[in-house]
Every structure is written in C-alpha cells, then in structure tokens.
Amino acid sequence: MVTMKVAFIGLGLIGGSIAKTIRKKYPDSEIVALNRSEAPLEEARKDGTINAGTHEVDHNFEGCDYIFLCTPVETNKFFLPRLKPYLQSGCVLTDAGSVKGVIHKAVSELLPEAHFIGGHPMAGSEKSGYANANDHLIENAYYILTPGENSTIDELNRYEKFVSSLGAIPLIMSPDRHDYITAAVSHVPHLVAYSLVDLVKLKDTPAEYMKLIAAGGFKDITRIAGSDPTMWEQICLENPENIVELLKDYEEILSGMRKMVEEADGKGLHKIFEEMRDYRASFSVSSAGPIKKIYDIYCDIIDEAGAIATIATILSTSGISIKNIGIVHNRTFEEGALHIEFSDEASKTRAVEVLERHNYSIFLK
Ligand code: NAD
C-alpha cells in the first residue's frame, strides 16, 4: 500500500538526497521526479529511489502529499504556474532554496493558492548532482521551515513531523528571519572568506610567501571560499538588503578593532578576544527559543591526546552513537571538558551510566 506520494522538481544533490531519504524511511511511498536531463531520472529509477520520471509537469504530479522544488530559485519560479492544476487539497508545496524571501514572494505572485511552506536543509556539499546524493545528507542537520501565508497549522505540524521522521531537525521561522540569520552566519562569512583570500592575493610578495604559509590555519578559515561561485552570486543577488546591512555592521566591528590596534589598546583587544572566545565556546550548547532541545552532557577530562578517542570508543562499544563531540574550555571546568551531544534522551541517559561506570565525572547543565 502506498503510504504517501511525493514529487520532486530537480533531482540533483539536494532533491536526490531528500528523495533517497524518503525512500529509506518510507519504502512504500510513491516518488516521482521531474528533471531536465535524463541521466538522474534513469539512475534513480534503477536504484529504486523513484517510481517514475518525467521532463515536464504532467499527470505524474496528481495526488501528491508534498511537492519539492529543488532546482535553482529562478527555475523553481518558472515551474510555479505549471503546478496549478496539480495542487490537490492537503498538498504541501515546498522548496529547498538557500534564500527564502524571494520564493515566498514568487509564490504569492504566481501561485497564491498554493499551501506553501519554504524549506532549507542546512546540509550540502561542494559537489552537485544526483550522482553525489545520498540517503543521509540531511541526517541531524537543521532543516528550516518558513510557513507561507496560505499554509495551515495542521500542514505545518505535519511537515515538521515529516522532517523529523527523515532524521533532520526542523526549526520554524519567518522567511525574513531566515534570510537575516543566514546572512549573518553564512552569507557574510562567505564574503569575508572570499575577501581574506583576495587580501593575500593582492598583498603577497613576488616569491609568494603568503601563499606558501597560508597552507595551514589560513586555509581552514577560508575553506568556504572554495564554494561554487555561481551559487554564491545567486545568493548575494537574492538576499542583498540583509547582506549589505550586516556587512556594514561588520565593517564597524573591524574599524573598531583597527582603531584599538592603532592606539595600542591591548586591554580593549584582550577583552574582545576573551569575550568572543567564551561566546564561541557556547555555540553548540542548547539555546532557548526555536532551537530544538539538545541532549548533551559535559565530561570532565584531562586535555591530552587520546582523551576524546577513549571516550568515543567507550560509547561506541556500548552501542551509543554520538551526534557531536568537542572540547570546551571555560572557567566552569578546571582542565577541559568534553561536550558530547546525542540524538535522543535515551542515548544521553545510557551514556551517563556507562561513563560514570568508567569513573568519569559527568556534568549536566
Ligand atoms: P544540483 O545542481 O545538484 O541539482 C539541481 C537539479 O536541477 C539538477 O539535477 C538539474 O539537472 C536540475 N535542473 C536544473 N535546471 C532545470 C530545469 N530548467 N528543468 C528541470 N531540471 C532542472 O543543485 P542542488 O545543490 O541540489 O541545489 C538545489 C537547490 O537546493 C537550490 O535551490 C539550492 O539553493 C538549494 N540548496 C543547496 C545546497 C547545497 O549545498 N548544494 C544546500 C541547501 C540548499
């Protein structure tokens, strides 16, 4: 018996990965996909991900519970009017785009009757295409949902549960908030990374010593400057107001730092560095508001080589999987503490039992 029907427009990295995850979690579902090129459709039919493939919006789109738009935003817009005859009652239309305001605006103008809930899986890779899609890309990833004007609370609840059932972590917010938040934590940092690389390119010595030395830490902090230029051009053009506003804020912060360096204000610099180090150390800790509960513990350890590996081994041999693990340094812990996150309460409870049995001191916040 078919448990649900889902359609995809665009069966690349993101569409393909969501489709594969649905096939894994809902083996009896009916999945159809539209793609421009034939190769992904053929591959997905062969590996059992989709039941049917098509190159245009046709009868395959009848009776869907969800329709996912997973092509670039401009292409998603093109398909909106074509979907009109296929929006049966209860069908949620969604997308996977990295900027939400533009698609919400397009839906209001081109397909206002759609029950649209925007979606943004905070997962990805530098690679694209169905060939790189997998059934665990969105696992444990935050998946932002932005309800549209016409979507109901019931539909939102249903979609939220659906996303959870796929192993991702749903977060609900308005499209505006999404675009502001992602501008701060993703879009502006990409521009900063590109600009840092530019600085070195411009200022390097003829012997290219900067480039030589940049192989280490500099390469780490500019890793995201290796991202797809076309995708980042599109994102900057789709979210300009937020990016410009936050870039201005950032320029002020940078000017403040430059001033402190010029004035040899060591105390001022030290204060900022200390505050930012501590704030950063708090990033993976559960926050209030819309952030889903995190199941975490702190384990007191001596900060030495092998400490993390020992604990990871103890947990994995007890069948407990770790979602996230890392050392935190702050004044609460004398030496260092290992912050460990789990996917559910049961894993956390078992981990506490197992680690205490091995004489580790556990702190719960
Ligand atoms: P992709 O290039 O891997 O896949 C896009 C798919 O759409 C391809 O299969 C392509 O053949 C198909 N397509 C393109 N134009 C088409 C057209 N005119 N008609 C029919 N099919 C067409 O891209 P992706 O990484 O899967 O990105 C898809 C969406 O997901 C984008 O909106 C992107 O912003 C969003 N997204 C991407 C990432 C990421 O890291 N890649 C992360 C989150 C969200």
CB 69 within 8 A of CB 95: yes
Q: Is the CB of 103 under 6 A from ligand 1?
A: no
Name 269's Cβ contacts closer than 8 Å, sequence gap at least 6. 257, 260, 261
How far apart CA 96 and CA 94 sit, in angstroms, is: 7
Atom 39, ligand 1: residue with shortest CA distance: 124
Q: What is the mean pLDDT of the chain?
A: 91
CB 224 within 8 A of CB 189: yes
Pocket test for ligand 1, best of 69, 71, 73, 80 (most atoms within 8 A of CB): 71
Q: Residue 300 has what pLDDT?
A: 83
Q: Of 252, 193, 231, 297, which is closest to residue 96 (Cα–Cα)?
A: 231
How far apart CA 319 and CA 343 sit, in angstroms, is: 13
Name 16's Cβ contacts closer than 8 Å, sequence gap at least 6. 40, 44, 49, 129, 130, 132, 133
Pocket test for ligand 1, best of 13, 17, 80, 102 (most atoms within 8 A of CB): 13
Q: Is the CB of 128 under 6 A from ligand 1?
A: yes
Residue at 253: amino acid letter = I
Cα-based angle 126, 323, 341 (whole degrees, multiple of 5): 130
* Tens digit of each residue's pLDDT (9 = 90 or more) over 83-142: 999 999 999 999 999 999 999 999 999 999 999 999 999 987 767 899 999 999 999 899
Domains of the chain, CATH where assigned: 5-173 (3.40.50.720), 178-281 (1.10.3660.10), 295-363 (3.30.70.260)
The pairing of strands 115-121 and 295-301 is unpaired
CB 106 within 8 A of CB 80: yes
* Tens digit of each residue's pLDDT (9 = 90 or more) over 228-245: 898 899 999 999 999 999
- Flag residues of the chain having pLDDT under 50: 286-292, 331
Q: Residue 287 has what pLDDT?
A: 38
How far apart CA 138 and CA 121 sit, in angstroms, is: 7
Q: Is the CB of 97 under 6 A from ligand 1?
A: yes
- Between the CA of 73 and the centroid of ligand 1 the distance, in Å, is 9
Q: Of 69, 64, 62, which is closest to residue 35 (Cα–Cα)?
A: 69
Q: Could you give the 3-state DSSP secondary structure of residue 78?
A: helix
Q: Residue 205 has what pLDDT?
A: 95
Q: Residue 298 has what pLDDT?
A: 87
> Alpha helices of the chain — where are they, by DSSP H?
13-25, 39-46, 73-79, 101-110, 153-165, 175-182, 188-203, 209-213, 217-221, 229-238, 240-262, 266-281, 307-317, 345-357
Q: Residue 282 has what pLDDT?
A: 87
- Structure tokens, 106: 């397009």
CB 20 within 8 A of CB 133: yes
CB 343 within 8 A of CB 321: yes
- Between the CA of 70 and the centroid of ligand 1 the distance, in Å, is 5
Distances (CA, A) of 181 to 185, 187, 189: 6, 9, 12
The atom of ligand 1 lying closest to the CA of 40 is 9
What one-character-per-residue DSSP string does 253-316 give? HHHHHHHHHHTT-HHHHHHHHHHHHHHHHTTTS--STTSPP-EEEEEEE---TTHHHHHHHHHH
